[in-house]
Amino acid sequence: MIFQGLAPTEFGDLAGMTGRRPTYILGFIIYIGANVGLALQNNYAALLVLRCLQSTGSSGTVAMGNGVVADIASSGERGKFMGIAQFGPMAAPAIAPAIGGILTQFLGWRWLFWFLTILAVVYLIPLAIAFPETGRNVVGNRSIPPPAWNMSLLNYLKTRKAEHGDALSAKQAGFKIDIKRGDNMRHFPLEKARIQVFIVPLYIGIAAILCSGWVMERNAPLAAPLVLSFIIGLCLTGSFNVMSTMLVYLYPLSPATATAANNLVRCLMGAAAELKWRAEVEREEKGRDGEWRMENHKQEKKAKKELKRAEGEHEKAEKH
């Protein structure tokens, strides 16, 4: 989780310097290499290191997704595009356990990583062929061609073809290309508008978390925590997506970096909460163990007293 929080910050800075496309490809290469190593590994220490590396490669692409949305969508369309971009990271935790359970049951745990490798390669090939560079620091409003090494195959072929047509001549003559522009958001009350959207679902999600803890303590039927888990996921995920969209609005020149910083804080707080939770569980287990030992000691003392009393009564009976 720590690497999941740290990696997007580095990927966001790299994307700000070189563009989205090479950063995406680098993340996929790291992810694919880590998965191959995990599938072939038998050493626990190596598994731990490769899992950190796997998390580094995969988590960096989350910040890239938000950055691409900021590059290609106008201010009026970003909310819709952000919802689409966040669908994958949010839906994966619900779908992955089922797929992982099937693969482990019938093919073994190594096939978890082979499956991820195949899936990443299948995704990387069309990305390398068709995904264009969108970073505004590299291509501006898409009127500036990226460097040759940063072009997709389709973009490269299109550029080569344009060099022999009238498009290059038009640019050299000073003709401007009409690009769809977004609205001026300078005087728009952005924070108020976004907070009004997510504040109610946020409170509902928090209330559902409290209720979930209560029903688990009371050993309620299974349906109760399942329904509450659905409400928690719906409300808190929606609130998080609204906040992520607002970050893209607030930092239009560095959306990937802003998303990475948000992800860093979220993951570090999650790691800290996990450590605190583990410490509390261990302390409670030690307390229960101590109570059990004390109770066991009392039972032993009581049993010894009963044994001595029985022996005394037996000796008295023999004397009589």
* pLDDT tens digits along 232-278: 888 888 888 788 777 777 777 777 777 778 777 877 888 888 888 78
| Six token digits for residue 240 | 């998080």
Residue 33 predicted with pLDDT over 70: yes
278-307: average pLDDT: 73
Look at phi and psi of residue 174 and say left if phi exceeds 0, alpha if psi is from -120 to 50, else beta: left
* pLDDT tens digits along 173-212: 454 444 445 555 566 666 777 777 788 888 888 898 889 8
Per-residue burial over 171-196, b if 16 or more Cβ lie within 10 Å, else e, is eeeeeeeeeeeeeeeeeeeeeeebee
Q: Decide if 27 contacts 10 (C-beta within 8 A).
A: no
Q: Decide if 287 contacts 223 (C-beta within 8 A).
A: no
* pLDDT tens digits along 145-168: 788 778 888 877 777 665 544 444
Dist. CA 19–CA 41, nearest whole Å: 34
